[in-house]
Structure 1
Amino acid sequence: MEFGNKENIIYIIIPILLFIILLLGLRKRENILKNIGLFSKRGIEILKIFLITCGGLLVFISLLSPQRLKEDEKIQVKGSNVYALIDISRSMLTKDVYPNRLEGAKRSLNEILDGLKGDRIGFIPFSDSAYVQMPLTDDYSMGKNYVNAIDSNLISGGGTKLLEGLELANKSFEESGVDHKIVIILTDGGDYDKNIIEYAKNNKLKVYVIGVGTEDGGVIPGKVGFLKDKNGNTVISKLNDKFMKELANETGGKFYEVNNLTDGTKILLRDIKSLEGKNIREENLKVYKKYYQIPLGIGIILILCGYLLKRGIREEYND
């Protein structure tokens, strides 16, 4: 026997408070009767408190959802395993995509989450460093909470440690026993790095890239004004898609654009769905028999018996 809703343990406070309130009420009643020279049968009052408290305790146990494992079998689930690498470098604050590139990337992520079904997805933001923000999961509601948590406060600098992000994704894939490794990179581009392409190919990472930005580009907001180079000139950040297109092509993926005029996210979702027949994973399905009805029913009966006990027994008083 185990409990399915252990998070409800906090409600143990209800039967405890109920017991304390009933006990204090008994003492107050005895004091009032004593002051007017009357006495009641204490045994009946104690039984009343016992029944109501035990009933409350059983209702609390039902909230924990007592259950017993009935079946444990492996089922095959169609769906891809995807890591989304989100560029959070300072250039992603450029406003050539409304309201900026980072928010445009977040819109695409939310659209991806809305379109997934049975697929598992994880998030890895990267800039001067990379970290696993959310491991692989099919809880899309939780995923949206993580997406909303991505903002300018996470941006540490102008670097893009894409290779570090790919290494983290690959490590997670291997730990999960995933054979088909899909990576989506949301970025405004990056400089050519042969090591990144070689790493992705050697580890069989299928890379899809969403390029967020425009060829005309825009200025990068700084702490004061706009970002400037060493010569004092304002830096113009443009979508640098050449390397990202090569990375996608070399790994069997594709490149898509996202800006104010173009949104390739739906095409990306369609391409990922076409892979679902190839990506089949095994998951353990646990079937439990629930027993919450038993303590709930007995608890309600005990509470009613305790409540009606006072009316059903005539109290006797002595001078």
Structure 2
Amino acid sequence: MKFGNLQNIIYLIFPIILLLTMILGMKKRKDILKALKLKNKKYISLLKVLFLTLGALLVVLALLSPQKEIEDEQVEVKGMNIYVLIDTSRSMLTEDVYPNRLEAGKRVLANLVQSLKGDRVGFIPFSDSAYIQMPLTDDYTITQNYINALDTTLISGGGTELYQALELAEKSFEEIGSENKTVIVLSDGGDFDKKSLDFVKKNNIDVYSIGIGTSEGNVIPEYINGIKRGFIKDENGAAVISKLNSDFLQKIASENNGKYYEVNNLIDTSKNFINDTANLERKNQRNEKTKNYEKYYQYPLALGMIFILLGYLLKEVIKDEE
């Protein structure tokens, strides 16, 4: 026997409070009756306390959802395998999108994950290098913790090395024998990268790129110990202006069956991603075990209500002392 809602165990405090309150009430009533030279039948008072307390305990037991595992069921699940490649280079701190490009990207990523159903998703941050932060999973409840952890300090350096992130995604796809290879790139584009274009085409990876920023761009803030200390400057002492490289992102998306989207303060076409992928064939199939339980909450609940009703209906008989 297992309990499906152990978090409700906190409600045990109510039967305890009820028991203590009724015991104190009995003592106070006894003193009052004694002063008035009256008495009542103790066993009725004790039964009333017992029934009400036991009833409350049984209701709490029902809230804990007692259940018994009866069998495992094999379920066939179809879905895409999606790796999200998140640019964490310093240019993503540019504030031409509120509050900056990285935070806007994290917001877009959270919305995308919330709209997935059956697809597995993984995260690969990249800058001067890349690593798999979250492997492919369909447990969407844990993704927000990984999204919150995304930061420009995760990877040393400030470049944009997309190729390495694509390599990691491709290796992971190969290891699981994925027929669908879908990648979402969240980036401001960085520099034109022919190596990445060739890699995507060679390995038949569908890239859905989301450009975050504006064509006008802005200066890149410089942070020291988490505090903004001016702007990043070039060798001549001039502030570096980072602009959205939408041309590269559009090019890499067009290599196969992908699509380009853009996000800034005025538009957010990334919302169309789910609609654009909804009708794609889900070739990847996997069998997952689901646990089936027989629930028994109705029995303690019904019994508890009966005891509470009995306790409520019991009337104490008061008479003069003999």
Q: TM-score range by the shorter chain?
A: 0.7 to 0.9
Are the counterparts in 2 of residues 125 and 133 from structure 1 also a CA contact under 8 Å? Answer: no
1:256 matches 2:260:
yes
* Structure 1 letter corresponding to 2:137: L
Q: What secondary structure sits across from 2:221 in the alignment?
A: coil
Cross-structure match for 1:273: 278
Q: Residue 226 of structure 1 is aligned with which of 207, 221, 231?
A: 231
Question: What are the within-5 Å matches in structure 2 for residues 29-68 of structure 1?
Answer: 29-68=29-68
Question: What are the within-5 Å matches in structure 2 for residues 57-206 of structure 1?
Answer: 57-98=57-98, 100-113=100-113, 115-123=115-123, 125=125, 132=133, 136-137=137-138, 139=140, 149=148, 154-156=151-153, 158=158, 180-190=180-190
1:238 matches 2:243:
yes
| Mapped partners of 2:212, 2:278: distance in 1 | 22
| Mapped partners of 1:12, 1:24: distance in 2 | 19
| Mapped partners of 2:161, 2:31: distance in 1 | 75
Are the counterparts in 2 of residues 4 and 64 from structure 1 also a CA contact under 8 Å? Answer: yes
Q: Residue 287 of structure 2 is aligned with which of 258, 277, 282?
A: 282
**Inter-CA distance 216–118: structure 2 relative to 1 (3 Å threshold):** same
**Inter-CA distance 22–182: structure 2 relative to 1 (3 Å threshold):** farther
Structure 1, unmatched stretches of 5+, are none
Instruction: Using the aligned pairs only, state the percent identity.
Output: 50
| Mapped partners of 2:167, 2:301: distance in 1 | 51
Q: Residue 297 of structure 1 is aligned with which of 286, 291, 302?
A: 302
More deviation, 204-213/3-12: 204-213
Are the counterparts in 2 of residues 244 and 255 from structure 1 also a CA contact under 8 Å? Answer: no
| Mapped partners of 2:319, 2:134: distance in 1 | 69
* Structure 1 letter corresponding to 2:285: I
* Structure 1 letter corresponding to 2:96: D
Cross-structure match for 1:210: 210
More deviation, 197-206/256-265: 197-206
More deviation, 194-203/159-168: 194-203
More deviation, 259-268/82-91: 259-268
* Structure 1 letter corresponding to 2:79: G
Cross-structure match for 1:9: 9
**Inter-CA distance 89–267: structure 2 relative to 1 (3 Å threshold):** same
**Inter-CA distance 93–305: structure 2 relative to 1 (3 Å threshold):** same
| Mapped partners of 1:179, 1:9: distance in 2 | 46
1:291 Cα deviation after fit: 1.8
For residues 72-96 of structure 1, give each alpha carbon's deviation from its aligned partner in whole angstroms, at most 9, with x where no partner exists: 3212222223232333443223233
Structure 2, unmatched stretches of 5+, are 223-227
| Mapped partners of 1:178, 1:257: distance in 2 | 25
Cross-structure match for 1:20: 20
| Mapped partners of 1:37, 1:302: distance in 2 | 32
* Structure 2 letter corresponding to 1:228: K
More deviation, 284-293/35-44: 35-44
**Inter-CA distance 44–171: structure 2 relative to 1 (3 Å threshold):** farther
For residues 271-297 of structure 1, give each alpha carbon's deviation from its aligned partner in whole angstroms, at most 9, with x where no partner exists: 533444312332223333322111111
| Mapped partners of 1:182, 1:103: distance in 2 | 23
Could you say what the CA RMSD is over the residues aligned between the two structures, in angstroms? Answer: 4.1
**Inter-CA distance 53–130: structure 2 relative to 1 (3 Å threshold):** farther
* Structure 1 letter corresponding to 2:258: K
1:60 Cα deviation after fit: 0.4
**Inter-CA distance 314–253: structure 2 relative to 1 (3 Å threshold):** same
| Mapped partners of 1:48, 1:148: distance in 2 | 55
More strand by share: 2
| Mapped partners of 1:49, 1:171: distance in 2 | 67
| Mapped partners of 2:102, 2:277: distance in 1 | 23
| Mapped partners of 1:2, 1:194: distance in 2 | 57
